[in-house]
């Protein structure tokens, strides 16, 4: 059945993904229908929740588009104020709480916002048509309520060499042909969050580029089912549990994240979907503005952290020790760390400033400090959750044993805690903690926290660039009554 636009619910979104004949490979085999694959479906459910939240809480997850005058999903909105950016953060935390994983739409949202201001300034300098094309594309995806996937990270090859210096030019996405109709690109994008679950991919350069890298300075929007694209699905720890008959061992039976390696084998992009072609002087601006948005978007991890804190508190309750002082202290510490991330991220949004395009950009320093905390604090929150869970988080037998005639009764007997606590409920919470700290959703909570939107060193570089040491030295010298206190 043909998709009816705009999509208005999670169910309609899921139906829109069917029948696209994507070249998706998982465990060495092509997947006939990703929507129905038990390992892939939980990640689709997580995106569907972004639609259902918009229907349930429109004041949080929707807004009025200044481009169309219509109500749209906030993930497709170009921020017109600091309040818009704050609302994004509030929505992201809520979705983290609802799914306990990555819901896969932040990259696309941040890409649209970064491109809006960058194309505006690019056009002003080079007299190019990119901003107008982008506005028309945004109106299209808003009217259809599409999911946008952002594709920035290249495999990179030899990190000591620029893109044009690689022995294999395909290790960075690049243009291999230009004609009257558009451009043809070749290469790959790695670790692509939610790519198979999107309707469109926006391909962007991954780093600042020099004059000889002109063919690598390409930005374009591509339908996910365009000819020439192959998706190789990323493994997640314990992912095959989703295909087992019992849900007891899945931890988070309904939701998960998704990453894949995306191969572009001579993929065509028409000119009206090309938003940069060769303007290497704007590649760095695009990367920096995208990462500025995306690094404060990691407040989504605080919603996931809320779930993990709740799971840790629940297992303490089930074990009969919710009032023990050391238990309470660990829960307080987990909460303190979680709120530290949220506070810095939302402060970055509050301190947003308007760009020349009218789109608002959050504070870069605070965005990088937020993301740098995200590379550390969730790991400590996870450690404390495992501490409170006890050794069973890693030694619990299988659900098949619990259901077996031979040893099921023994597990019921020896895994019992408080009389009023069902062994199966304790089992489910232990599996949830395992899932979020060791299993498949540890990708979304821990590994993604480390490497998503750049590694820790990337944030330290940006912090170093923005720390204004000269100005701070002047402040100190002025108070110390040193003669050269006045700035030059």
Catalytic residue among 37, 294, 372, 373: 294
Q: Catalytic annotation on 294?
A: yes
Identify the pLDDT of residue 165. 98
List the pLDDT tens digit at each of the 488 positions of the chain.
Answer: 478 899 999 999 999 999 999 999 999 999 999 999 999 999 999 999 999 999 999 999 999 999 999 999 999 999 999 999 999 999 999 999 999 999 999 999 999 999 999 999 999 999 999 999 999 999 999 999 999 999 999 999 999 999 999 999 999 999 999 999 999 999 999 999 999 999 999 999 999 999 999 999 999 999 999 999 999 999 999 999 999 999 999 999 999 999 999 999 999 999 999 999 999 999 999 999 999 999 999 999 999 999 999 999 999 999 999 999 999 999 999 999 999 999 999 999 999 999 999 999 999 999 999 999 999 999 999 999 999 999 999 999 999 999 999 999 999 999 999 999 999 999 999 999 999 999 999 999 999 999 999 989 999 999 999 999 999 999 999 999 998 755 55
Residues ≥6 apart with Cβ < 8 Å to 87 = 60, 63, 74
Give domain 294-475's CATH superfamily: Butyryl-CoA Dehydrogenase, subunit A, domain 3 (1.20.140.10)
φ/ψ of 269, rounded to 5, equals -125, 120
Look up residue 88 and give its two tokens. Answer: 């994004």
Catalytic residue among 77, 102, 206, 445: 102
Give the Cα separation of 480 and 478 in Å (integer).
Answer: 5
Q: Catalytic annotation on 298?
A: yes
Catalytic residue among 50, 128, 193, 206: 193
Catalytic residue among 13, 298, 342, 360: 298
Identify the pLDDT of residue 161. 97
DSSP 243: G
Identify the pLDDT of residue 411. 98
Give the Cα separation of 398 and 401 in Å (integer).
Answer: 5
Alpha helices per DSSP H over 200-282:
none
Q: Is the pTM of this model over 0.75?
A: yes
Identify the pLDDT of residue 483. 87
Give the Cα separation of 340 and 373 in Å (integer).
Answer: 8
Give the Cα separation of 429 and 315 in Å (integer).
Answer: 7
Catalytic residue among 49, 99, 106, 199: 106
Identify the pLDDT of residue 484. 78
Find out whether 282 and 146 touch, Cβ atoms under 8 Å.
no
Identify the pLDDT of residue 487. 52
Catalytic residue among 238, 292, 300, 370: 300
Q: Catalytic annotation on 300?
A: yes
Q: Catalytic annotation on 195?
A: no
Find out whether 63 and 84 touch, Cβ atoms under 8 Å.
yes
**Residue 63 marked as a ligand binder:** no
Q: Catalytic annotation on 238?
A: no
Q: Catalytic annotation on 244?
A: no
Distances (CA, A) of 432 to 100, 377, 396, 438: 9, 19, 12, 10
Catalytic residue among 146, 191, 259, 434: 259
Nearest residue to 76 via CA among 50, 44, 46, 42:
50
Q: Catalytic annotation on 3?
A: no
Residues ≥6 apart with Cβ < 8 Å to 68 = 139, 142, 143
């Amino acid at each position: 059945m043909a998709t009816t636009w705009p999509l208005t619910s999670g169910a309609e979104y899921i139906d829109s993904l069917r029948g696209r004949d994507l070249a998706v490979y998982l465990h060495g085999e092509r997947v006939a229908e990703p929507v129905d694959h038990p390992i892939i479906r939980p990640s689709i459910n997580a995106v569907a929740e972004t639609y259902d939240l918009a229907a349930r809480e429109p004041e949080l997850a929707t807004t009025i588009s200044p481009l169309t005058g219509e109500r749209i999903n906030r993930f497709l909105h170009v921020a017109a104020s600091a309040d818009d950016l704050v609302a994004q953060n509030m929505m992201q935390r809520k979705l983290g709480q609802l799914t306990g994983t990555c819901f896969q739409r932040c990259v696309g949202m941040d890409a649209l916002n970064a491109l809006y201001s960058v194309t505006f300034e690019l056009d002003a300098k080079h007299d190019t048509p990119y901003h107008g094309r982008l506005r028309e594309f945004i109106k299209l995806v808003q009217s259809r309520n599409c999911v946008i996937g952002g594709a920035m990270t290249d495999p990179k090859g030899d990190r000591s060499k620029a893109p044009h210096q690689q022995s294999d030019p395909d290790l960075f996405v690049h243009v291999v042909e230009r004609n009257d109709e558009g451009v043809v690109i070749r290469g790959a994008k790695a670790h692509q969050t939610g790519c198979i679950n999107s309707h469109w991919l926006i391909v962007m350069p991954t780093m600042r580029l020099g004059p000889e890298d002109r063919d690598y300075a390409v930005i374009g929007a591509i339908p996910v089912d365009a000819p020439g694209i192959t998706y190789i699905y990323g493994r997640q720890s314990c992912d095959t549990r989703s295909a087992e008959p019992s849900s007891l061992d899945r931890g988070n039976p309904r939701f998960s994240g998704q990453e894949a390696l995306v191969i572009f084998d001579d993929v065509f992009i028409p000119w009206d979907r090309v938003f940069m072609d060769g303007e290497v002087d704007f590649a760095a601006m695009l990367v920096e503005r995208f990462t500025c948005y995306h690094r404060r978007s990691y407040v989504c991890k605080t919603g996931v952290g809320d779930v993990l804190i709740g799971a840790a508190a629940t297992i303490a309750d089930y074990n009969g020790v919710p009032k023990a002082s050391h238990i309470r202290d660990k829960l307080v510490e987990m909460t303190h760390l979680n709120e530290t991330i949220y506070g810095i991220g939302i402060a970055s949004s509050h301190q947003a400033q308007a760009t020349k395009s009218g789109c608002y950009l959050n504070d870069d320093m605070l965005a990088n400090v937020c993301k740098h905390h995200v590379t550390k604090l969730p790991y400590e929150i996870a450690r404390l959750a495992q501490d409170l869970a006890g050794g069973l988080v890693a030694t619990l037998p299988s659900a098949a044993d619990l259901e077996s005639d031979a040893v099921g009764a023994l597990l019921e007997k020896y895994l019992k805690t408080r009389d009023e606590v069902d062994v199966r409920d304790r089992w489910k919470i232990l599996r949830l903690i395992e899932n979020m700290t060791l299993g498949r959703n540890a990708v979304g909570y821990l590994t993604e926290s480390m490497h998503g939107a750049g590694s820790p060193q990337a944030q330290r570089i940006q912090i170093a660039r923005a720390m204004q040491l000269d100005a701070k030295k002047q402040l100190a010298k002025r108070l110390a009554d040193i003669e050269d206190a006045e700035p030059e």
